[in-house]
Each structure stands twice: as structure tokens, then as C-alpha cells.
Chains A and B, each alone.
Chain A
Amino acid sequence: MLAYTLKRVVVAFLILLVVSGLTFSLSHLSADPALTIAGEQASDEDIEAVRKLYGFDRPVIEQYVNWLSRALQGDFGKSYHYKAPVVEMISGRIGTTMTLGFLAIVFALVVSIPLGTLAAMRPNSLIDRFALLIAVFGQALPTFWFALMMIILFGVWFRWLPISGNTSWAHFVMPTIALGYYATPALMRLTRAGMIEVLSSDYIRTAKAKGLLPVSVLFKHALRNAIIPVVALAAVWFGFMLGGSIVIETIFNLKGIGWLSYDALLRSDLPVVQAIVLIFASFYVILTLLADLLNAYLDPRISVR
């Protein structure tokens, strides 16, 4: 288990290195940072001066190494626009994004696991069809459209929920549902498929032959095995939730790092963009790592490989 963990951690670091390198070079190819900093009206000499001052005339690889060595010490530079340290800008907002992502994935799991299990117990029954309907809608509706519909219905017509900001828990209700609903179909269908397969397996027959009651057959013997791939997928989806929060945060004006990244992209604020991309990438990598480790813990067969 220890060797397995170590191996996975090393791979995770390598992935992050590649991602950061790619973002850095791509963002430097797509925009001229000197122009951004100097401003639209700046003369060519001014731009050239800025380029020298910030070291943009150096080879990209050298700039990357510089950036990386400073990033490793926790210094991501200053925002070109706000002139504030990037680390401070992000740390002040990351809590909002994490809260939203966490609530969304919990919402998705709370809906999809029971629904998927019920659907699997009686394939083609009414409840199975209902679950399928929910899944089809979730897959077909664009997140932003669903979010806007909720705003119109619950925010504008009924006035039950606030539609903008993040000052109370009530502010998180609609964003959570909008974001979480997006993950529900995949998680639910996987729960259903896994459950159906597990329920017809030999060890479930053994569990019944022991005289165990349906509750323990279902929730101990079946769910534990059916849930293994769902856990892995949920971790990946949590990563999507954090990244996907760009749209939701912008719509609901929740000022997390999703909102910040949208803002920074519009302003070509490269240090902010690079830092956020690296953070999102780390989320993915760490979550996938955690999912693998959790899987190895839940399914004792995995760690032997």
C-alpha cells in the first residue's frame, strides 16, 4: 500500500509539472503581457521598456523556470491589473469555490446514490423511468440555462432565494443545485449499472443463502462493491465542479476563484490566470489521487497490482 501510494504521488507531481509548463508557454504565446501592462495607448518605446523591465524579452523557458522557482516558494507574482499579490487574491476567494464545489458534489451524491439504487432494484419500474428522466434532463440542459431558469423561478417570481452574492447560506442553494445537478446523471447511471451487475453476482447469492436480511444484502454486500467506481467518478466530478464553477460563480456573482479567473481572462491578467490554472490542475490531480487511494482502501484487490 505504501509503495502504491508513493508511486501515485510521484506521478501526480509529474502531471502538475507538465500542466504548469503548458499553461505558461500557451498563455505567453496567446497574449503580449507587456502590452497589457503598458496599456492600449502606450507608445512602442514604453512597451519595449516594460518588456525589458519584466524580463519578457528573455526566452520563454527561462521565464518559466523563474516563475516556477518563485511559485514553489509560494510567490505567484502580482496581478497586472489589481497590482495585488496573486496569492492574497486567491486565498481570499478559494473558500467560496471550495464550499460551492463541496456542496454541489454532496448534493449530487445524495440524489444519485439512493435513486440509482432504487432504479437498480426494479429495472424498468416507474422509479427507474423517473430516474432516467432526471438523468436525461440533467445531461441535456446546459448548466447556465438551468441556472437562469432557477433564478427566474425562485429568485424573481417566488422571491424565495437571493440571486446574487455570497453573504449567507441561502445564497449557495441555487448555485449548489445548478452545479450539482450537472453531475447527477453520470453518478446515478453508474450507481444503477454497478448495482444491477453486483446484485446478480455470486456473492450476493451467497449472502442470501446465509439467510441475511435484504437490508444487509443490499446495503452491506451490494452497495459497498457498486460504490467503488462511483467514488472514483465523484472525485473526478468534484474537480469538474471546481472548474465548472466559473460559469456558475459568474452567473450568481459568487466571488470565488471561478469568478476571478473569468475576470482575469477578460483582462489578460496572466499571473492570475496561470496561478488559477495550476490550482485547478492540482485539484484534479490531488482528487484523482485521493480517489485512487480511497478505491484501493475500499477494494482490497486494487493495491496488489
Chain B
Amino acid sequence: MINKKEVVLEVKNLSIDIPVSQGILHPVDNINLHVERGEILCVVGESGCGKSLTSLAIMGLLPKNAQRTAETLELNKEDLQELTERQLADIRGNRMAMIFQEPMTSLNPSFTIENQLLEPLLRHKELSKDEARNQVIEMLELVGIKPAEPRLRQYPHQLSGGLRQRVMIAMSLLCNPDLIIADEPTTALDVTIQAQILELMMSLQEKFNTGILFITHDMGVVANIADRVAVMYAGQIVEEGPVSEIFDNPAHPYTRGLMGCIPVPGKLGQDNTLGTIPGMVPSVVNDFQSCRFGGRWDENYKENFEPCRLTEVPKKRRSFKVNLNEKHLVHFCCDECLHLSEHTLVEGSS
């Protein structure tokens, strides 16, 4: 380990509440995250566990009805919660940028690629239109759109999904941000394009030394690109650590469930099926009275893991370090999963 890395994003105890007619949703519940310069942190979890809301909360782009609270929310040590809407707009697209899940609808159908790519540069940098245009062309070629010039005059509908996502990536990089939040940037693309985009993001990340918060539900993607992983379940982060640690020693039963879902060539089970986690992420209305994971234990694990017997869960969650590794943390709501973790756990702080 060389000298301590610079932290670009620091999130402590971030929660999101959404009032609905049946009560209050807590789709994101006291999560902690940090991203260092030049690293990729993957947040992985099933559909509906709160990944997108977390990223929108960091960007300050939550829907109007969602309320955000956080103990710390800092970009490069600057408190984002203190900023006015105008100051936040100065930072967005400039020092932190976002790539969205849906390349097909994330570009405005009525304006050319050039028009939409010039915007962040003209908004945030003091450049003439010609200078900005040259930078746009340069960036498009960097993301593999060559030749770039003819693309500038095109409209989004004239581009394939893969190309549009490249345009979005170029857009996010234009102002050379400290942090890029990529919310499932490859989910909507087919497998070969997906691999190209991942490779592109990794090479660009190395080149620009940006911190990336990469959101995905695909453990295969995580294995490919992550430096660190945070496993999210039902609005909470249940396990967090360096990618090799998490893959070698998954400690939380949910993480193990996710591991079972990775397709490994030639290693499909005898019955040729991929592992799945039964059931769905529970609805997040009100506080959880009982186990969040209740009833979702994998058949294969049933011998080892008892179905959760809890009917009431203590409010405070406990953090454990796995096998004395400083950086690998597991968070349990009670002692049930703890007994099942098959690891030497030491009580730790997070």
C-alpha cells in the first residue's frame, strides 16, 4: 500500500424518505460510501434496492417528493448539502458527472449531438465555440467514435444504443470531473457492446484518474472492473470491501446469494441452471419490523443456513471486520446471519 489516496466522494449515513399514501418509504437507509481518486467503486444489488436513488441523491437530482438526509455528503471535502441550487448547478456536469441507465432516452431527440455536447463546456468553461467544438471532437474520438465530425450533425435517433452511450460517456468526461456516477451504463446494451463500453470506461478512467461510482446488478461486471465493492440490499449496504476479498470470502448470506448468480463458462450446475435468489426485494414501506432478508434463503443453502427466525430486529446495525482484513466490512442487523457467516469476525467500526 502506497500513500493514502485522496477521497473524492464521502457519504455518511445517507437516508432517503419518500412519503406515500400507505406511509413513508425508506428506499435508502443510512448508507456509507466513499470513492477515492482513480478507483472504481461498484455498488451492486438487485433491482429496486435503491441504487439509482442513491446516485440521484448525490447529484442532488432526486424527485421532488423524495427527502434526503445525510451526516456527510462531500465532494472533494466540499459539503454538498451547504450549497445553493445555483452553486450545485455549477458543480454538476463539471466536477461530478453522471451517466444514466437508459442511453436511448437520455439524449434530447430535438437537438444534434454537437449541440448537446457543447453545452457542458460552454456552461462551465470559458471557451469559444470553436475551442469547445475541437474538444468535443477530440473527446468523441477518444470514446471510439471515429470519424467524429459527421456524427456532430446527427440526431440521437440516428445513433445506435452503444454509440449513444459512448456519447453520454464523452459528455460526462468533457469537463474532466473528479467523480463520475455511472448508473448501470451497460444494462440496456447487448453483451458484446457491453464489454466494449466497460473496457472503454476502464481505459478512460486510468487516463483521467477519475473516481467512478459504478452501479450495477451484475456480479460479472463487478468482477471485471471494480477495485472495491459495496453490496446493497433493501436500501442498506450489507457488505463492503476490496473486490478480491468479497469474491473470495463473501461473508453476508446475501452476497453469497449474488455470487451464485454469476454465469461462469463451463461451470453451470449439472441441471444447467444459473443460481437465482428466490423472491423479491421486500417493499420498503415503514420500518422493517422483522428480518429484511426473511424468507429469501436459497434452497441450496438451507442445509447450512437456517431460515431467519427473527420477528423483531434491533434498530442498530453492527459492523464486523472479516478475517481481520481492515477494509472488508459486513453489516448485520442481528446475530442470526452472524452465526451463519462461517468467518472469523471482529466487531469493528465503520
Q: Which residues of A contact B (CB under 8 A)?
A: 201-203, 205-213, 216, 221, 224-225, 228, 298-301, 304
Contact A225 B109 (CB under 8 A): yes
Contact B89 A202, beta carbon cutoff 8 Å: no
Asked if A212 meets B89 with Cβ closer than 8 Å, knowing A202-B102, A203-B109, A299-B110, the reply is: yes
B133 within 8 A of A: no
- Residues of A within 8 Å of B171, CB to CB, are 210
Asked whether, in the complex, the Cβ of B105 is within 8 Å of the Cβ of A203, the reply is yes
27 contacts between A and B (CB under 8 A): A202-B106, A205-B61, A205-B100, A205-B106, A206-B106, A206-B107, A207-B119, A209-B59, A209-B61, A209-B92, A210-B119, A210-B171, A211-B90, A211-B91, A211-B94, A212-B93, A212-B123, A213-B89, A216-B119, A221-B108, A224-B108, A225-B108, A298-B110, A300-B109, A300-B155, A300-B157, A301-B157
Looking at A203, A225, A301, A304, the one whose CB has the most chain B CB atoms below 10 A away is: A203
Residues of A contacting B110 with CB < 8 Å? 224-225, 228, 298-300
Count chain B residues whose beta carbon lies closer than 8 angstroms to a beta carbon of A. Answer: 28
The answer to whether B92 and A207 touch across the interface, beta carbons within 8 angstroms, is: no
* Residues of chain B at the chain A interface (Cβ within 8 Å): 59, 61, 86, 89-94, 97-98, 100, 102, 105-111, 119-120, 123-124, 155, 157, 168, 171
Q: Which residue of A lies closest to B92 (CB)?
A: A211
- Contact residues in A for B157 (Cβ distance below 8 Å): 300-301, 304
* Contacts across chains A and B counted by CB atoms under 8 Å: 74
The distance from the CB of B154 to the nearest CB of chain A, in whole angstroms, is 9
Contact residues of A: prevailing secondary structure: helix
User: Within 8 Å CB of B123, what residues of A?
Assistant: 210-213
What is the CA–CA distance of A225 and B111 in the complex, to the nearest angstrom?
A: 10
Please name all residues of chain A whose beta carbon is closer than 8 Å to the beta carbon of B107 when the two chains form the complex. Answer: 203, 206
Neighbouring B residues of A213 by C-beta, 8 Å: 86, 89, 123
Residue of A nearest to B172 (CB): A209
Told that A206-B100, A207-B108, A210-B97 touch, could you supply 17 new A-B pairs with CB distance under 8 A?
A: A201-B105, A202-B100, A202-B102, A209-B92, A209-B97, A209-B100, A210-B119, A210-B123, A212-B89, A212-B119, A212-B123, A216-B119, A224-B108, A225-B109, A298-B110, A299-B110, A300-B110
Would you give the shortest CB distance from A247 to chain B, in whole angstroms? 38
Q: Separation in Å of the B94 CB from the closest CB of chain A?
A: 6
Q: Which of A207, A224, A228, A304 has the most CB of B within 10 A?
A: A207
In the assembled complex, the CB of B327 is this many whole angstroms from the nearest CB of chain A, namely: 31
- Chain B residue contacts of A209, Cβ below 8 A: 59, 61, 92-93, 97-98, 100
